[in-house]
Structure 1
Amino acid sequence: MYSQKGFKYAIYALSLFLIAIVFAVLTIKLKYDSLSLVLGVLVISFGILGLLGFIASLKGIKEKNTIKKIVGLVINSCLTITILFILIANIYDIYIALN
């Protein structure tokens, strides 16, 4: 049950991640600043979905092994690590800017 939920979260978060990449490219190419707001919302959304999916996948770790369970766990783990790297990079940039 939890692994199915984790897989769904993984698919939704991965979709948002790919859409965020498209918006990032459009923001850079078109130099259209209002797209950066949409990009920020998408990044926060895929981060939250990735984290929720990771938690759901961990709750379902004792369930029977299926392809969906493994794929959901891998995708959610990668997205959670990605969002952690983004947070660390932003904190480091703020630290550098204030010094």
Structure 2
Amino acid sequence: MADEYFLLVCDDVPHDVVLTDPGPRVLDVAQVVRRLTGLSLWSSKARATQAPAVILGDLSQEAAEAAVAALRDAGACAEALEHNAKPPTRG
């Protein structure tokens, strides 16, 4: 009997929210990171200043785009990447 392999295709590929640059308003971005992640303000500020950093992972595309929009409204540069994509590196 031959082994059969199936490729399962998901309709919704998990996305990561990557903060690439906090911009000039770091505290505003830290408050958004705090609201999105539930971390303390201190931890949120630390994560915001360590950009590029993955803020949230394994989200649906819609949730990731909403989080990116909130970060961009606070003055940050952020993007939603598919889970398997590599985040940008510091250059």
Question: If the length of structure 1 is used for normalisation, what is the TM-score?
Answer: 0.29
Structure with higher strand content: 2
Structure with higher helix content: 1
